A = this chain, B = another copy of it.
Amino acid sequence: MVQEEIRRRNAGALLRYVHLLGAVSRAELAERMGLNRSTIMALTTELTRVGLVHEELPTDTGRAGRPSLLVRPAADRFYVLAFDVAVDRLVAARVGLGGSILERRTAVRPRAGPDLHEVVEVLARFGRQLHRAAPPDAICVGVGASYCGMIRPGDGMVRFGPDLGWVDQAFGAELGRRLGLGLPVTVGNEAHLGAQAEQQRGAGVGFQNLIYLHGDVGVGGGIIVGGRLLGGDGGYGCELGHMVVNPHDGRPCGCGSYGCLEAEVGERALLDVAGRPAELFGREAIRSVTDDADRGDPAAREALRQIGDWLGIGVANLINLFNPGMVVFGGMLCDLYPGAAAQVRSRIARNVLPVARENVRLRTAALGDDATLVGAAELGFAPLLADPLGRPADTGRRAAGSCR
């Protein structure tokens, strides 16, 4: 019984490596997992039997001797549906085992207005289209969604979605119902998912302590501590956007307070400081400021300097608290950070204790705007990766049956 449990756990660990690394030799799997080659062979044989991986000879090893077989995820056979409710768009995608985005649908999302049913309507339609377009033998193993708000981990309830004004909306349950695939929908906060995606597949691979800042209208955060996402008691931690950095002279924040980090470095702050008209908003408006700064426009450069100083205070505070190996800037901060980097680094030098900043690196998100969608897909894959051999090989098909 213990042996059987170990075998299943090892199969999950092996499939996770293959899922994350894409194509990996048996020899490398043996080394990474600390198992001998015959155990690896037994595991890959089983995973091949149920169709989750393929094995193949490497094209050219450049070495003499029998080459180690390459193990690849069956991206064409097993997939998830991933959804992203971002501040400016609604995205649905079919993502194959291994993590590649096979197909996607995107709609522009109005800044204000859409209620739960309107959002779910669009996403569920996209989801059904993607599902129908999948090859006939492909199996849908899970559904994950990213939402720009505070999510109750157990059931995907949106506790607070500031930009849409949603409070206690049963997003996960409703999307699951409207998809009609017989699969639960796991929902996560967009910055949490972005952090996990960047750590697993992006700029932060190999980092056990990582801070991801996701900017759009506000600033969300995902913080990896010792390899795991910081949740806190209710799963509502990481709200770095509401860290007060400017208590006595701060800009009003959407949360009702003043001087929060997101009020000082969010989209509205940058556009105001850069002197842009109040009716402008969105990524294009932000890029016009960063482009002007690149061209040497003094007002745009000064705006980036001011915003960079506030961002630097926030990042310095976070480095003092978390002693991370890496800080990743995502969302619109991907665009903003390069022009603000000097100011951020100067604040870190001034405000972080030397031993805590010895080895920290600052990067923009390697997955760009897909970080949140990729993180949502991982939510969908989680049950399969936890126990790929736990169910008879045809259970997936039965789930697929109820899917279609």
Which 4 pairs across A and B sit closest by C-beta, in order of nearness? A232-B323, A237-B323, A239-B320, A236-B356
Q: Are A223 and B354 in contact, with the CB atoms below 8 A? A: no
Q: Are B321 and A239 in contact, with the CB atoms below 8 A? A: yes
Give the docked Cα–Cα distance between A2 and B358 (Å): 41
Q: Are A223 and B355 in contact, with the CB atoms below 8 A? A: no
A38 close to chain B: CB less than 8 A? no
Interface size (A, Cβ < 8 Å)? 53
Give the docked Cα–Cα distance between A225 and B159 (Å): 22
Q: Are A257 and B350 in contact, with the CB atoms below 8 A? A: yes
Q: Write the A285-325 contact mask toward B (1 if CB under 8 angstroms, else 0).
A: 00000000000000000000000000001001100111111
Q: Are B351 and A242 in contact, with the CB atoms below 8 A? A: yes
Answer whether A359 and B233 are a contact pair too, CB < 8 Å, given A225-B225, A247-B245, A350-B257. yes
Q: Taking CB as reference atom, which chain B residue is nearest A325?
A: B233
Q: Are B321 and A234 in contact, with the CB atoms below 8 A? A: no
Q: Are B356 and A244 in contact, with the CB atoms below 8 A? A: no
Q: Are A228 and B226 in contact, with the CB atoms below 8 A? A: yes
A160 close to chain B: CB less than 8 A? yes
In the complex, chain B residues whose CB is within 8 Å of the CB of A237: 209, 320-323, 356
- Nearest CB on B from A333, distance (A): 18
Q: Are A323 and B257 in contact, with the CB atoms below 8 A? A: no
A residues neighboring B (CB under 8 Å)? 2, 150, 159-160, 208-209, 221, 223, 225-226, 228, 230-240, 242-249, 255-257, 260, 313, 316-317, 320-325, 350-356, 358-360
Q: Known contacts A232-B322, A242-B320, A244-B245; can you find 12 more A-B pairs with CB under 8 A? A: A150-B356, A159-B355, A209-B232, A232-B324, A233-B359, A239-B320, A240-B321, A247-B313, A248-B249, A255-B353, A256-B350, A257-B350
Give the docked Cα–Cα distance between A242 and B355 (Å): 13
Q: Taking CB as reference atom, which chain B residue is nearest A3?
A: B2
**Interchain CB contact (< 8 A) of A323 among B226, B234, B244, B321:** B234
Decide if the interface of chain A is mainly helix, strand, loop or mixed.
loop
Answer whether A244 and B322 are a contact pair too, CB < 8 Å, given A353-B150, A353-B160. no
Q: Taking CB as reference atom, which chain B residue is nearest A228?
A: B226
Give the docked Cα–Cα distance between A320 and B353 (Å): 22
Give the docked Cα–Cα distance between A392 and B162 (Å): 61
- Nearest CB on B from A209, distance (A): 5
- Nearest CB on B from A47, distance (A): 24
In the complex, chain B residues whose CB is within 8 Å of the CB of A321: 221, 223, 230, 237-240, 243, 321
Give the docked Cα–Cα distance between A354 and B239 (Å): 12
Q: Are A355 and B317 in contact, with the CB atoms below 8 A? A: no
Q: Are A234 and B359 in contact, with the CB atoms below 8 A? A: yes
In the complex, chain B residues whose CB is within 8 Å of the CB of A324: 232-233
Q: Are B236 and A208 in contact, with the CB atoms below 8 A? A: no
- Nearest CB on B from A59, distance (A): 38
Q: Are B233 and A225 in contact, with the CB atoms below 8 A? A: no
Give the docked Cα–Cα distance between A159 and B358 (Å): 12
Q: Taking CB as reference atom, which chain B residue is nearest A232?
A: B323
In the complex, chain B residues whose CB is within 8 Å of the CB of A325: 233
In the complex, chain B residues whose CB is within 8 Å of the CB of A360: 233
In the complex, chain B residues whose CB is within 8 Å of the CB of A150: 353, 355-356
Q: Taking CB as reference atom, which chain B residue is nearest A241?
A: B320
Q: Are B239 and A231 in contact, with the CB atoms below 8 A? A: no
Give the docked Cα–Cα distance between A358 and B152 (Å): 13
Give the docked Cα–Cα distance between A124 and B157 (Å): 57
